[in-house]
């Protein structure tokens, strides 16, 4: 097989490894107040969003990431009415949340207004008009500060932001202190969901430390995973809850819940996907258990260094 493209986007996973995409065009570039944003047209995955040189999601496979981030958390909660989304600028996390008939109100908070507005305009296949849904409130502010100051209580909180692998303020949304704040803003059956970095063998530091950190704040913490083709990587997610354990759900229970509670047809997630996603390979579980570092406000993790 020979490459056809003469323009390439190189997504380095480490200094010695990368996943590369032939690109047809760069449709949008913007240096926002917080990050470098680009929308590219790739040869294999349609349009994609790139922030600070890292692939975020693509037209062809974003359904995998967003379905597995949202549905396990909402379906294993008995009746989620109020949902809080941190980040998720593309609007696809919002789109999946809104499919749940039980949901009455969603507050989405993103710090980067420029990214959200560019996604609204240039990535309509992602949000599919979700920002116009009457149940949605969209605010541009610091999510942690909001949660510290509000009296609101949510059933599900979904944190859809970059993993804390490099220096930067994102790691303050991955600390023990932050998960303590989140816990206080959840109802008794409250559940959270977030992405936690790759589950590829050599890069389990991030996932393992986020896992150990969330265990300080929640009694039930489950790692699950999905392969994201455009990343060239399997991706790890964490669903944590005060009361509901995703591991206890059978294929049939998930399939029935989808039928009853979700509008439209899912492409990635169903009962069998649930079982596959929440059971992990032996070496991943071993890494998670052996790891003993907790991320704290004054103790970030730094990978790749």
Q: Whole-angstrom Cα distance, residue 150 to residue 272?
A: 38
| Shortest spacing between CB 151 and a second copy, in angstroms | 40
Q: Whole-angstrom Cα distance, residue 86 to residue 233?
A: 23
Active site residues: 160
SS3 state at 36: strand
> 256 or 276, CB closer to a second copy?
276
| Shortest spacing between CB 59 and a second copy, in angstroms | 12
| Shortest spacing between CB 149 and a second copy, in angstroms | 35
Number of residues assigned to the chain? 305
**Is 63 in contact with 22 (CB distance < 8 Å)?**
no
| Shortest spacing between CB 275 and a second copy, in angstroms | 4
Pairing of strands 17-31, 54-58: unpaired
Q: Which residues bind a second copy (CB under 8 A)?
A: 1-26, 29, 42-44, 53, 60-61, 64, 199-202, 226-227, 229, 232-234, 266-270, 272-273, 275-277, 279-283, 285, 304
Q: What angle do CA 108, 228, 274 make, to 5 degrees?
A: 75
CA neighbor of 230 nearest in space, from 69, 61, 13, 51: 61
CA neighbor of 199 nearest in space, from 190, 191, 188, 210: 210
> 55 or 109, CB closer to a second copy?
55
The β-bridge partners of 215 are none
| Shortest spacing between CB 182 and a second copy, in angstroms | 28
What count of other Cβ atoms lies within 10 Å of the Cβ of residue 86? 25
> 1 or 149, CB closer to a second copy?
1
Alpha helices in 88-162 (DSSP H): 92-98, 113-122, 124-127, 143-149
> 193 or 273, CB closer to a second copy?
273
Q: In the 8-state DSSP scheme, what is residue 129?
A: T
> 293 or 302, CB closer to a second copy?
302
């Amino acid at each position: 097989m020979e490459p056809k493209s003469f323009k390439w986007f190189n997504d380095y996973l480490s200094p010695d490894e990368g996943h590369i995409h032939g690109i047809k065009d760069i449709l949008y570039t913007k240096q926002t107040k917080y990050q470098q944003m680009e929308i590219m047209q790739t040869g294999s995955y349609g349009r994609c969003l790139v922030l600070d040189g890292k692939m975020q999601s693509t037209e062809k496979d974003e359904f995998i990431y967003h379905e597995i981030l949202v549905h396990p958390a909402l379906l294993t909660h008995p009746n989620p009415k109020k949902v809080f989304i941190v980040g998720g600028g593309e609007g696809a996390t919002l789109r999946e949340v809104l499919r749940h008939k039980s949901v009455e109100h969603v507050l989405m908070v993103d710090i980067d207004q420029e990214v959200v507005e560019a996604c609204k305009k240039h990535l309509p296949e992602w949000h599919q008009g979700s920002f116009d849904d009457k149940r949605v409130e969209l605010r541009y502010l610091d999510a942690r500060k909001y949660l510290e100051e509000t009296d609101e209580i949510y059933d599900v909180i979904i944190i859809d932001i970059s993993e804390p692998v490099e220096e930067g303020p994102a790691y303050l949304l991955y600390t023990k202190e932050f998960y303590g704040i989140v816990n206080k803003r959840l109802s008794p059956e409250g559940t959270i969901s977030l992405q936690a970095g790759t589950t590829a063998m050599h890069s389990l530091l991030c996932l393992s430390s986020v896992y150990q950190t969330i265990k300080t704040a929640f009694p039930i913490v489950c790692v699950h995973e999905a392969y994201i083709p455009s990343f060239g990587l399997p991706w790890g997610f964490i669903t944590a809850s005060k009361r509901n354990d995703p591991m206890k759900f059978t294929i049939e229970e998930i399939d029935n819940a989808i039928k009853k509670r979700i509008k439209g047809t899912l492409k990635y997630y169903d009962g069998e996907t649930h079982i596959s996603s929440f059971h992990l390979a032996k070496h991943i579980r071993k890494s998670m258990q052996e790891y003993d570092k907790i991320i704290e406000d004054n103790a970030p993790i730094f990978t790749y260094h």
